Amino acid sequence: VWLDLLKPIVKQIRRPKHVVVKFVVKFFPPDHAQLQEELTRYLFALQVKQDLAQGRLTCNDTSAALLISHIVQSEIGDFDEALDREHLAKNKYIPQQDALEDKIVEFHHNHIGQTPAESDFQLLEIARRLEMYGIRLHPAKDREGTKINLAVANTGILVFQGFTKINAFNWAKVRKLSFKRKRFLIKLRPDANSSYQDTLEFLMASRDFCKSFWKICVEHHAFFRLFEEPKPKPKPVLFSRGSSFRFSGRTQKQVLDYVKEGGHKKVQFESETRHCKNLLSSESLNGSPRLPRHSSLIDEMFRGSGDHSPLATPLSPSSRSSSPGMRKSKTSHSDLLPPTTPEKRWTRASRTKGSISKDGSESMESHAPGTVTSHPQTGSLTGSPHLSELSVNSQGGAAPANVTLSPNLSPDTKQASPLVSPLLNDQACPRTDDEEEVRRKRFPTDKAYFIAKEVSTTERTYLKDLEVITSWFQSTVSKEDSMPETLKSLIFPNFEPLHKFHTSFLKEIEQRLALWEGRSNAHIQGDYQRIGDVMLKNIQGMKPLAVHLWKHNEALEGLENGIKGSRRLENFCRDFELQKVCYLPLNTFLLRPLHRLMHYKQVLERLCKHHPPSHADFRDCRAALAEITEMVAQLHGTMIKMENFQKLHELKKDLIGVDNLVIPGREFIRLGSLSKLSGKGLQQRMFFLFNDVLLYTSRGLTASNQFKVHGQLPLYGMTIEESEDQWGVPHCLTLRGQRQSIIVAASSRSEMQKWVEDIQMAIDLAEKSSGPTPELLASSPPDNKSPEEGMAVDQESEDDLSASRTSLERQAPHRGNTMVHVCWHRNTSVSMVDFSIAVENQLSGNLLRKFKNSNGWQKLWVVFTNFCLFFYKSHQDSHPLASLPLLGYSLTVPSESENIHKDYVFKLHFKSHVYYFRAESEYTFDR
């Protein structure tokens, strides 16, 4: 029962002596990054800690050990094994903690240097991705009398069987909530394909229990979905009908607006005292944590609600718009802005987290950059969503030879959609809707089946990626004698065993899926509706191949050093990247085996979360997860170094005017488009942020389409400040270096905040390093790879249009669709942390794409990787037919007015470009 602040306590608590009053969280934010103050995050961290101790926050052993390791780091500081074990012996953070002690100590060793604030942030980051985060189960029964549990979250009402979620009703689908005695009723909006209104009924223990849960649902709906506090219902003159209960207090939207206007009072929170080992003793696990002396603020932030709303409150359509992002537990005076730099650690501890959790059907829209005007000097259409008609290679290769790319994307050159090519509009290709429905009904509906199917579809793509190296690249190398034998022996012998192993692995998975679906060998008796045994067997079989995985770092460095030292090898690799089969930068394929280990780990975590411990597949899945987690932990450091090394070399291809970009110790942080204020006004520039220097460049008007470096600001001693009022330019920043200062403007508030956080973090890192370096980046010297092939570096850019054009014929082919160019045209930015998250969330499978201006749907094989969708006619095709870079796009679900009467449809849109895609199941749609 939540206390109502508008009513006297004596009326709510009948026997005060027998009542325990607890200070607990009411509304759980799905994105804690928008909790600005350290105190607020600390309070949420205490709640997570309490939920772990009480067994409410159920999760697998790896997640539990990781959560506890961050709690230990926050409480006693850096790793000391003896101290750790003594502390864990005295404090029980979870039932059966003893079995996890070694794992906790091992994870704690990785957190050296984390402050208590950073530990809280990481704790919440991991916790929010768990299925039981913030879930409070309310026992009930369905119409058949089956025992279930109901819960409410920011997205809607959830149904659990035990600790497994079996159904969810998003607020968008719910028309009305009510209760009659012990019966709790959910009325859903009528389905477009049927005329009846569906009403769901659940039976609870008593009327009081039922009314209490109904009140909680009304409060969650109002807080997360309404723009403003609902007005109280006028009291009837004669007699009342139903409850007058209403939500009172600020809604999420109102809290956000309040903070933006600067209405809240900043509170200093003394965090250094939290390193005292005895501060958070086991008392805090029993609901009485020792808090700083800010009782007035705490009372304001976490007050009980005095809410009034009618008994059967209809959820009107006008209440369906939700403000994306900020969710908070009953806060009125806490801030909801993105966190400052200490909490955003760019060491990428996010590697340990599970899959990205979804935010509900109507909260999925991502931040689209603001509208950008055309560049005054070049007339380039900076907002153009498509870089080519068939942008087959958005990450570094070029488009097919038969497609002409416009380097400038001028307004006169209207770019067609990448999905309207004749290849993708073959009318023979689509499957009819009736056939699709019949086919879908024949397949299993268990979530575990679709997880297993995801392993199969992504394994197909992984094999194709391995073949780019073992088959296509190797055969091209054998035809031309351009690669040293030492380099050949370093690359191919370390990839061929992997290809052979995963070919048989894929066959086993597909055979198991065929039995699961009953497509073949249906007469064979046995329990084939599982995948854990296949995964365990093959992951154990991968262990001997780890010796090859360790060599991939050497292979990547050997290839790039070979390209640096040989003009012939550089031309050969560049020409291979222009082939259709090489749809990503060549060196990206060398990272694929390490990335694949991450995918297996994520899939197994989802399976372990889905299966109850009594399930026949649970033990195998858990054993397989333990094996793959060990492999990932061993190779994790190598993978981070390789990713940074690969990204630096990829950026090097897009830049002219620098030579020593790739040096030991340099790490990439963010790239993106900003406007720089100069004597000519605001001019679009491309910025590149590293851990020691910030570069700004302009795009060249050359055949190579590279970016010319205009200036560099060492980060040592730099300061950053917002200066909108001073210059009268929205989202404006002043960067003051030791030698020069520049004024830049971002396209939106959110973009500015991302840059401020990352630049400030990079400045802090530079201050901690050895000290300032006089010249961080040297200008490109004359090319010394081969004297007879030397040519002048092309100097042409927007600011140097009079430079000689004699070198244009000798430049590399156009590379106008790399990540850098996508950010330039969409006027957005992307960080190394974003790249890491993108790696974890690669996906492959069939999607249906809606034909423009018709009801037909076309079946395509789609690969999602590197912020881009690649489209194939089938999974057997060796190269994509088209691609759609997604940076800058928004993701939503179609509204009722769009008349798309199909399940599992999502919508991608950027300005006037809109695409509809349809998945085969709820699980695939969520993924």
| CB 335, CB 37: distance < 8 Å | yes
Examine the pLDDT at 178 and tell me if it is beyond 80: yes
| Amino acid 222: pLDDT | 87
Which position has the higher pLDDT, 524 or 505? 505
3-state secondary structure of 223: helix
DSSP string, 174-220: EEEEEEETTEEEEEEPPPTT-SSPPEEEEE-S-HHHHHHHHHHHHHH
How far apart CA 719 and CA 725 sit, in angstroms, is 18
Where in the chain is CATH 1.20.80.10? 32-128
Q: From residue 636, how far is each of 472, 723, 844 by CA, in Å?
A: 28, 40, 24
| Amino acid 76: pLDDT | 92
Examine the pLDDT at 297 and tell me if it is beyond 90: no
Q: Is the dihedral of CA 311, 312, 316, 319 positive or negative?
A: positive
Q: Give the lowest-confidence range in 245-254, 379-388, 630-639, 700-709.
A: 379-388
**How many CB atoms sit inside 10 A of residue 190's CB?**
12
Examine the pLDDT at 356 and tell me if it is beyond 80: no
Band (927; pLDDT cuts 50, 70, 90) = very high
Examine the pLDDT at 610 and tell me if it is beyond 90: yes
Domain 842-924: which CATH number of 3.40.47.10, 2.30.29.30, 3.40.630.10, 1.10.1610.10: 2.30.29.30
What's the average model confidence in pLDDT over 567-579? Answer: 89
Examine the pLDDT at 718 and tell me if it is beyond 80: yes
How far apart CA 401 and CA 883 sit, in angstroms, is 15
Where in the chain is CATH 1.20.900.10? 447-652
Each residue of 849-876: pLDDT tens digit? Answer: 987 777 788 999 999 999 999 999 999 9
| Amino acid 148: pLDDT | 93
| Amino acid 659: pLDDT | 80
Examine the pLDDT at 196 and tell me if it is beyond 50: no
- Strand order across the beta sheet in which 156-161 lies: 164-170, 156-161, 147-153, 138-141, 199-203, 183-188, 174-180
From the list 153, 150, 149, 201, the residue with the least C-alpha distance to 179 is 201
pLDDT averaged over the chain? 75
Band (766; pLDDT cuts 50, 70, 90) = confident
How far apart CA 509 and CA 500 sit, in angstroms, is 15
Q: Give the lowest-confidence range in 356-365, 416-425, 726-735, 827-836.
A: 356-365
Task: List CB contacts of 342: < 8 A, sequence separation 6 or more.
Answer: 115, 117, 118
Where in the chain is CATH 2.30.29.30? 137-230+245-256, 660-768, 842-924
What's the average model confidence in pLDDT over 406-421? Answer: 41
CATH number of the domain located at residue range(s) 660-768 in this protein: 2.30.29.30
Token pair 């560099």 is found at 712
| Amino acid 376: pLDDT | 32
DSSP string, 439-507: HHHHS---HHHHHHHHHHHHHHHHHHHHHIIIIIIHHHHHHS--S-HHHHHHHGGGTHHHHHHHHHHHH
Examine the pLDDT at 844 and tell me if it is beyond 80: yes
| Amino acid 197: pLDDT | 57
Which position has the higher pLDDT, 540 or 427? 540
Band (94; pLDDT cuts 50, 70, 90) = very high
Token pair 């997360």 is found at 224
Determine phi and psi for 394, rounding to 5 degrees. -80, 0
How far apart CA 355 and CA 358 sit, in angstroms, is 9
**How many CB atoms sit inside 10 A of residue 675's CB?**
22
| Amino acid 871: pLDDT | 94
- Cβ neighbourhood burial of 723 (10 Å; 0-12, 13-18, 19+): middle
| CB 300, CB 307: distance < 8 Å | no
Which position has the higher pLDDT, 579 or 4? 579
Name the CATH architecture for the domain at 32-128: Up-down Bundle (1.20)
Determine phi and psi for 255, rounding to 5 degrees. -60, -45
Q: What string of H, E and C letters represents the secondary structure of 769-796? A: CCCCCCCCCCCCCCCCCCHHHCCCCCCC
Band (9; pLDDT cuts 50, 70, 90) = confident
Band (15; pLDDT cuts 50, 70, 90) = confident
Each residue of 298-340: pLDDT tens digit? Answer: 333 333 333 333 233 333 333 333 333 333 333 333 332 333 3
How far apart CA 303 and CA 46 sit, in angstroms, is 17
| CB 555, CB 491: distance < 8 Å | yes
Examine the pLDDT at 361 and tell me if it is beyond 50: no
The two most distant CA atoms of the chain are separated, in Å, by: 101
What is this structure's pTM? 0.56
Name the CATH architecture for the domain at 137-230+245-256: Roll (2.30)
| CB 674, CB 742: distance < 8 Å | no
How far apart CA 827 and CA 823 sit, in angstroms, is 5
How far apart CA 463 and CA 803 sit, in angstroms, is 47
Q: Return the percentage of the chain with pLDDT > 90, whole number.
A: 37
- Type and span of the H or E element at 848: strand 843-850
Q: Give the lowest-confidence range in 128-132, 301-305, 585-589.
A: 301-305
Strands 843-850 and 829-831: unpaired
Domain 447-652: which CATH number of 1.20.900.10, 1.10.1670.10, 1.10.10.60, 1.10.230.10: 1.20.900.10
Tokens (6 digits) for 114: 């984390």
How far apart CA 571 and CA 497 sit, in angstroms, is 28
Q: What string of H, E and C letters represents the secondary structure of 670-685? A: EEEEEEEEECCEEEEE
Which position has the higher pLDDT, 724 or 661? 661
**How many CB atoms sit inside 10 A of residue 501's CB?**
17
Band (798; pLDDT cuts 50, 70, 90) = very low
Helix, strand, coil fractions of the chain, as percent rounded to 5: 40, 15, 45
| CB 849, CB 857: distance < 8 Å | yes
